[in-house]
Structure 1
């Protein structure tokens, strides 16, 4: 009987820890659900970011978003959440077929490779304008 009580208590503790982990959104494998989710992540990172264009990574672990002011945000999976950086230069951008590899100036952010499919060339060309003088 004592062993059964210990077993029940251990099972209850495991279930409680699982519930707490879910409530705190720990673990898991977050993905960007769709373009609206990418827009929300951009607005969360930069209040009032008015997203006009979105390019989602095929695996939905990253995205590029552009606003009406031609600012571009790079969104990437970071643990169980997402991190965002504004791209200000095309210096760290490399195109390889359908893959766009981006290295930001923030070394902690790291290098991100996005599988953008047919959009990769279009976005690579548009990123070449970053850092140039605007009229």
Structure 2
């Protein structure tokens, strides 16, 4: 084989090895696709993990898995949303608010926990009006 061909093969093999190393490193660091909350069991586990002693009694999950609400047995309401490969959550309080999305999105609910750093979360829920009433009553 000519030296030029061997050089190209070596360059290709080195590039492939570097790519595989980066893929392994990303997995090892826990990086990857955004987590989705798709089942009540996943939401309940995330809520329990986030706040010790929180036991979900009612759960509402966004239709795309981009967030959820959980009402605890003690009446507290928790907002959960994916944050990278993890789940971020906040217990809602008096500074929290909920409003229905603008016209055309009749079941969309915008929940603001009152913390700028967390941001507002828009959820598509079947029972959005009931959750909005409960959040605004806090």
Q: TM-score, normalised by structure 2?
A: 0.85
Q: Distance in 2 between matches of 1:91 and 1:103?
A: 6
The counterpart of 1:58, out of the listed 52, 55, 63, is: 63
Q: Could you tell me which of 2, 11, 28 is aligned with 2:7?
A: 2
Alignment of 1:11-30 (within 5 A): 11-30=16-35
CA distance in 2, matches of 1:127, 1:48: 20
Cα distance in 2 for residues equivalent to 1:90 and 1:16: 46
Query: In structure 1, the residue corresponding to 2:110 is in which secondary structure?
Result: strand
Rg larger for: 2
Aligned match of 2:123 in 77, 101, 114?
A: 114
Indicate which of 100, 104, 110 corresponds to 2:109.
100
For structure 2, which runs of at least 5 residues remain unmatched after alignment?
Answer: 1-5
Indicate yes or no: 2:61 matched with 1:33.
no
TM-score normalized with structure 1 length: 0.87
Change beyond 3 A, Cα 1:6–1:91: closer
CA root-mean-square deviation? 1.6
Partner of 1:133: none
Listed as ranges, the gaps of 5+ residues in structure 1 are 131-135
- Aligned length, in residue pairs: 129
CA distance in 2, matches of 1:34, 1:90: 28
Whole-Å separation in 1 of the counterparts to 2:68 and 2:41? 12
After the TM superposition, list the runs of 4 or more consecutive aligned residues in structure 1 that deviate by more than 4 angstroms. Answer: none
